[in-house]
Amino acid sequence: MNSDGSLRSTQPPATRRSIILFPLPFQGHINPMLQLANILHTHGDFHIIIIHTQFNSPNPSKYPQFTFQSIKDGNTEYQYNITTLTDDPIYIFNYLNENCVDTFKDCVAGLIQQEPVACMITDAAFFFTQAVADELKLPRLVLRPSSVLCAVVYCNLTLFYEKGYFNCTNKDPFYDAPLPEYPIIKGKDISKISTKPLGHKDFANKMFEYMKQSSGIIWNTFKELEQPELETISHNFPIPHFTLGPFHKYFSGSSSSLIDEDRTIMSWLDTQPPKSTIYVSFGSVACITESEFQQVANVLENIGLPFLWVVRPGLVTGSKWLESLPETWLERVGEKGRIVKWCCQKEVLAHRATGCFWTHNGWNSTMESICEGVPMVCSPCSYDQPLNARYVSDVWKIGVLLEDGFEKEGIEKAIKKVMVDKEGDEIRERINALKEKLNLSLKEGGSSHKSLKNLVDYISSF
C-alpha cells in the first residue's frame, strides 16, 4: 500500500504491457469498466491499472489481480451524493471533468515512467482525458457504456432542442408521433431525456467532439443487436469501433456493486414456479414519486402473481425507504412478494422462476434481460432509458412500454400481456431468439469474439 492509500500489485514483467482504465464513478459506468478490465486481463494478458476518484471508489479487495490508484476529485468541501446526481447529473459530470485534470495527469505521468503502458481507456464522459492523452502521447480509447442507438440519437440533441422536442406536451402533434429526423423515436421519448436539455446537449456535444479525437470506441453491445446504428455511428465517427459485449457474459466474477446485495432472496425464489415471478427494479439512480411508488405497490398487490421488488433507499423522492407503502400492505401481501434494498440482478434474471422484468431500461439492465431471455415491462425515467425502452418495445419487440407512465390500468395490462396472454409467448420467443444470437456472437468466430480479438491486437500494436 502506498502512502496515499492506493493499492499496488506486483510490478508486471517488462514484456507485459499495462492498460490504464478510468471509470466514471457511478454504478452503471463502473460495472462495465471493471468487466472490460477483467476481459482484457484474461484474454489479452495485460496488466490492468484502475485509476478512480475518491467518490464512489470500487472495492480493490474484490480485484486482487489489478492495481488501484485513487486520485483526488476536488470533493473536499462539497459532498455530492446520489440525490445531487439525480437533481442535476450534468453538473456532477462537468464538476468531475474540471476537478480531476491535474490529479489524473500527474497519476498517469507517474505510471508511464514506472512501467510500459500501451494505452488508456476512459469513460466517454471523462472528455478531459483526451487532452491529457495527447499531452502525454498515450493512445486513448473510450468506453461508451450506453447503447449505440443512444449515441446516434444524442448526436442530434442540438437539432431536437431547436425543434422544441424537449419541451413537447401531449398537445403537440409530434408528442406521440414518429420524428421526421428519426422515425423510430417519438417526441415524448426526447422530452423524457432531460429536464435541463440545454446543459445536457452541450455536454453531449463536447463528449462526442473528444470521442472523435480518440483512438477508438468500445461498446457493451453485440453487432447483431444494433447493426443499422453501428453503420450510422461508424460513418459519423470514422475511427475503430469494437462491439464485444455483453461484457458480463465472459466470466462469472465477483460483483462490482456499490450497494450491498441481499442474497437471502434466492431461497425464496427457489420456492416459486417457473416463469411465475415479476422482478421489479428501477436501477441505482432513477427516482420515482410517492404517487408512482404507491401505484407500483397497488398493482403488485392486485396482480395475483409472485414478485420480487427492489426498493433502493432513496428510490422514492422525499422518502428514506418503505414509509410510503400503503398501510398494512406488507401484511396483505404476505408470502406472495418480497422487497429488498438491492440484489444480484444477473442471478435473479437467470433464475428459472423469473418471468418478466419491470425495468427502467438502463443499458446494463436491458442487456442483462436479453442475455437471460426475460421479457421486459418498460418504465423509463430519463437519459438513455426512453430510447432503449422504445427499441425494446417497437424495434426488437421483446417487451411492452408503459406509454402512459405509472398508470394502474396500463401497468396491469402490460404485465398480463407479458405473463399471461398469447402475445407474451410471442415476445418470449423473440427474446429467446435474440438471446441465441447473443450467445453465438460470443463463441469462436462470432461477432463479439472477433471484435475482442481485434481490440486485443489493436492495443498490442500501440
Between CA 345 and CA 360 the distance in angstroms is 13
| β pairing state of 178-179 and 182-186 | antiparallel
Q: How far is CA 134 from CA 100, 144, 214, 411, in A?
A: 16, 20, 9, 50
Q: What is the dihedral of CA 409, 414, 419, 420, to 10 degrees?
A: 60
Residue 189 known to be catalytic: no
Catalytic residue among 29, 52, 241, 360: 29
Torsional sign, CA 5, 10, 217, 445: negative
Written as one letter, the residue type at 178 is: P
The Cα–Cα gap between 438 and 368 comes to 11
Q: Other C-beta atoms within 10 Å of 177: how many?
A: 12
Encode 357-412 in three state secondary structure: EEECCCHHHHHHHHHHCCCEEECCCCCCHHHHHHHHHHHCCCEEECCCCCCHHHHH
Which grid coordinates are listed for 330? 406488507
Q: Exactly one of 47, 52, 73, 123 is catalytic; which is it?
A: 123
* CA dist 245 → 220, 275, 405 (Å): 4, 26, 30
Using CA atoms in the order 71, 74, 78, 79, what is the torsion angle rounded to 10 degrees? -10
Say if CB 258 and CB 287 are below 8 A apart: no
User: Of 380, 377, 366, nearest to 399 (Cα)?
Assistant: 377
| Contact (Cβ atoms closer than 8 angstroms) between residue 312 and residue 341 | yes
Collapse the DSSP code of 192 into the 3-class scheme (helix H, G, I; strand E, B; otherwise coil) and give the result: helix
**Residue keyed to cell 429536464:** 195
Measured between its terminal Cα atoms, the distance across the chain in Å is: 30
Q: The dihedral of CA 248, 250, 252, 256: what is its sign?
A: negative
| 242 touches 215 (CB < 8 A) | no
Query: CA-to-CA distance for 335 and 95, rounded, in angstroms?
Result: 46
Judge contact between 31 and 256, C-beta under 8 A: yes
- 8 Å CB contact between 244 and 218: yes
Let me know if 123 is a catalytic residue. yes
Vertex 37: Cα angle to 132 and 207 (nearest 5): 40
What positions carry a catalytic annotation? Answer: 29, 123
